[in-house]
């Protein structure tokens, strides 16, 4: 769980640092990848929350 958040944080830092040097195609795929990772992270949080409460 912590690794997932660290990976997302690393990707956001990497993207914000080199956003002016990369092309539009890569930036679009990076956005899709970040949204996908965010959905997975939210799903993991909801899953662990419900598994602990039940």
Contacts of residue 7, defined as CB under 8 A and 6 or more positions apart, other chains included, come to 37
- Both tokens of residue 3? 């690794």
> Considering its fold, how many domains does the chain have in total?
1
CA nearest to 31, candidates 45, 20, 15: 15
Torsion region of 22: left, alpha or beta (phi above 0 gives left; psi -120 to 50 gives alpha):
beta
pLDDT value at residue 12 = 73
Domain range for residue 35?
A: 2-53
> What are 15-52's pLDDT values in tens digits?
666 655 666 777 788 788 888 888 888 888 889 888 88
pLDDT value at residue 16 = 66
> What are 6-21's pLDDT values in tens digits?
777 787 777 666 655 6
Q: How far is CA 11 from the centre of its chain?
A: 7
């Amino acid at each position: 769980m912590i690794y997932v958040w660290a990976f997302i944080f690393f990707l956001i830092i990497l993207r914000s640092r080199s956003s002016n040097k990369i092309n539009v195609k890569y930036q679009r795929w990076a956005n899709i990848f970040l949204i996908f990772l965010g959905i997975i992270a939210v799903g993991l949080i909801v899953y662990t929350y419900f598994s602990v409460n039940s």
